Structure 1
Amino acid sequence: MRLFIRFALSLSALILCQSSFAASLQLPNNANTVLVNGVATEQQHVALDITTPQGLQQIAFRYHARFRDQGSQHSFSSDVIILRFAASDQDYQLALPSIRSQSSAARFNDSPALTLTDQAGNAVEFTQDKLMKKGLQLGRDFEQEIAKYNNAANPASWSAAKETTTPITSTVSTSTAATVPATVITDNTEQPNQAEVSTMLDYWYQKASPQTQAEFKARINQ
């Protein structure tokens, strides 16, 4: 009898776990999350917790691209984009436009064009914004930044602890922080824009292992 009870409890826990994460979001290969519902993580295929109030999800991500323009190779890394939408028990797909020139990179960074669809191919309404930070971008604490963002009356704020009555609309909102220019690094001898250098340093810092991050900080403090 005890063995049966243990089995039943284990099965119930497994079913509850599966039902809580029965939805997913697929990002393009050139996009990675930096936050999922307030937790720092880097993913392209995201398991969504649909037990949150109204099934609301908050995904913060960056879009990376490489392209050739006017004979030079360029690397692009977007600002951190916040996407909030209501999820149900199904899979979702995020689509992003192609970046093929410096002008298209600048347009995307200024006003990101996103397309979110469900597994039937239907458009899904969402709210988007940017997670901006003034000054040096190296070693950003995204969890702390998003916590401050969510505690304020921002367009894509999210809270797992309470219901939100803000209507979900597919609009682009401008953050209250200063707008950072499109991050495009050109592989030539021209002096790079220091804002671009700062953002790319932050990108590679986040990619580095804890040991490499510590070594890098030690070099800066020398």
Structure 2
Amino acid sequence: MKKIAKKMIKYGIIGGAVCLLYTGNPAWADVTLQLPQNITILAENGKNTKMNKRASLPDGDNQIVVQFQGELSRKHEDKDADFEYSDTFVIRFNALNQTLKMVTPRINRLLELEKWNKKPDIRILDSAGRELDIQIARLKKDGFQIFRNYETELEAFNKTDSPAAVDTLSSVSEDSVSPPAAQVSPKNQSQSQDKTDMAEDMLDYWYQQADEEAKARFKQRINKQ
């Protein structure tokens, strides 16, 4: 009986594993992309994402938006560091059933980030270390850079002639179009306005807490793109 029970457990585990492999669970993506430490994905295939350090993508043509985010010193000898953001970049590549790795140079100082912004050194390698053919473009936005809606920006970007644009994604955001104003209840409008007011209050509070040098850097960051 014990031998039979062990066999049942053994085959049950194997059967369960096989089921997991073939049940089309979305967690089992066809393409996996691993990112460097300070590179974050902000959008995948025309959709906003949470700030991810790893992407699970479908086979075929893919488009992602990435950004450097990390603490940097202004000079080599500086011990103090400020949290800095790079410009945002659209990357387009094609892959099938692969585990990929993004590679970028190590960025430790603000000057290195400024150089990288002008000429981003971004490579994507397959498991054998071969470099994929990728297209990179800066996703430009004038004015305030915080709380960006990448779905809206990518919809416009994908209608351009940029090599990193993807035609099939230009209408992706149709699924997430907001309902007409007449269908939005006053309650929902009020909640949306409250969130906007709260965000503005938080930004104003932290701005007022900063010293003059930090305020100047904040203004520069807002208007640099």
TM > 0.5 fold call: yes
What residue number does 1:142 align with? 150
Unaligned residue ranges in structure 2 (runs of 5+): 1-18, 171-209
- Which of 131, 151, 165 pairs up with 2:159? 151
Count of residue pairs the alignment pairs up: 161
- Is 2:60 the counterpart of 1:35? no
- Change in 2 beyond 3 A, CA 1:87/1:17: farther
Give yes or no for contact 2:155–2:169 (8 Å, CA) kept in 1.
Answer: no
Structure 1-normalised TM-score? 0.64
Give yes or no for contact 1:91–1:118 (8 Å, CA) kept in 2.
Answer: yes
What residue number does 2:62 align with? 57
Give yes or no for contact 1:20–1:49 (8 Å, CA) kept in 2.
Answer: no
- Change in 2 beyond 3 A, CA 1:75/1:138: closer
Please report how far the alpha carbon of residue 138 of structure 1 lies from its aligned counterpart in structure 2 after TM superposition: 2.9
Paired residues for 1:182-221 under 5 Å: 190=213, 192-193=216-217, 194-196=219-221, 198=222
Unaligned residue ranges in structure 1 (runs of 5+): 1-10, 163-186, 200-222
Distance in 2 (CA, whole Å) between partners of 1:12 and 1:67 is: 43
Give yes or no for contact 1:84–1:127 (8 Å, CA) kept in 2.
Answer: yes
Structure 2-normalised TM-score? 0.63
Please report how far the alpha carbon of residue 141 of structure 1 lies from its aligned counterpart in structure 2 after TM superposition: 1.3
* SS at 2:216 equivalent: coil
Give yes or no for contact 1:90–1:118 (8 Å, CA) kept in 2.
Answer: yes
What residue number does 1:82 align with? 90
Distance in 1 (CA, whole Å) between partners of 2:169 and 2:147 is: 28
**Sequence identity percentage:** 22
What residue number does 2:55 align with? 46
Give yes or no for contact 1:80–1:132 (8 Å, CA) kept in 2.
Answer: yes
Structure having the higher Rg: 2
* SS at 2:125 equivalent: strand
What residue number does 2:140 align with? 132
Give yes or no for contact 2:46–2:169 (8 Å, CA) kept in 1.
Answer: no
